[in-house]
Amino acid sequence: MAQQSDILKAIQVFTSKWVKEMKALVPVRSGKLQESIQSVDRPEPIVSMLYYGQFVDQGTRYIKGNSITPFIGDGFDRAFKETKDEFSDEVFKQIEKQLDKTFK
């Protein structure tokens, strides 16, 4: 069984890489959205950004097609691939179990 400290460390490492990947992928006009992407360490890390980041990522009825830049999900996937090799499978199984509980 993976220890709680190992799981928290894995989540913190993943979150910092996710933020880095999102900042690299987000389209930049003024730079405000890019600067706002950050992680806040509480008992568990939380990712935050300006409210309109979701519209840039997913689009709206006015923002369609090539104007959509899915930087949140793509950044998540890249960070997951990078982080997965750094920690044991057991740690990731515990993290997946925790995510399943949280989002069901």
Tens digit of pLDDT for each residue in 26-51? 999 899 999 999 988 777 778 899 99
Does the model's pTM come out above 0.95? Answer: no
Total number of domains in the chain? 1
Could you list the residue range(s) of the whole structural domain that residue 73 is in? 4-103
- How confident is the model at residue 1, as a pLDDT? 58
Distance of CA 36 to the CA centre of its chain: 14
Mean pLDDT in residue range 92-100: 74
Helices (H), 1-104: 4-25, 32-36, 53-58, 71-84, 89-103
Classify residue 49 as exposed, middle or buried by CB count within 10 Å of its CB (0-12, 13-18, 19+). Answer: buried
